Chain A
Amino acid sequence: GAGVSQSPSNKVTEKGKDVELRCDPISGHTALYWYRQRLGQGLEFLIYFQGNSAPDKSGLPSDRFSAERTGESVSTLTIQRTQQEDSAVYLCASSLQGAGGYTFGSGTRLTVV
């Protein structure tokens, strides 16, 4: 597709359940980022993938969070044993080789009840 696609667009889950969020970046974009946006807050960096390099996981808030990327394509962000404070919009972005501007997806709005 022409843009960054994220699915699902909305997810409501019960506390303690695991969730998996998906991101399809723009074809040819080697860099992929996950950010979290809580209500009234800025974008919080979670993880960065660049080509075949080891991912920069320094923003993951706890070991309940993990992410994978298959080559230079799809990425999944997994949150295990969800907590209410995990409720937020999770945004994925991609860019050419990590330089230039990011192209963001529309995000996944996660609500933990």
Chain B
Amino acid sequence: AQSVTQLDSQVPVFEEAPVELRCNYSSSVSVYLFWYVQYPNQGLQLLLKYLSGSTLVKGINGFEAEFNKSQTSFHLRKPSVHISDTAEYFCAVSGSFQKLVFGTGTRLLVSP
């Protein structure tokens, strides 16, 4: 079975500062990893995904994530955040494409 840990429930940051949202996973099989973003009162939308190949994955809105197999991590980064990045971010893992297991989410709060 797979599981995901997002240790930070909330990350406050100033506009134009860099940010890293942490995600660690556990799995006994090869995994596929995803980051989703949820803006207030909306559904989730995909930011980026890792299926195979390059461990550095680029997504929408300037976000990127790095798959680290030895540390079982898939941290999300952005070099310079905007007010509009304020949202909740979910890391998810799938051992097969049928089902996703989500982390508990990290709320990113960007202030001026």
Partners in one complex: no
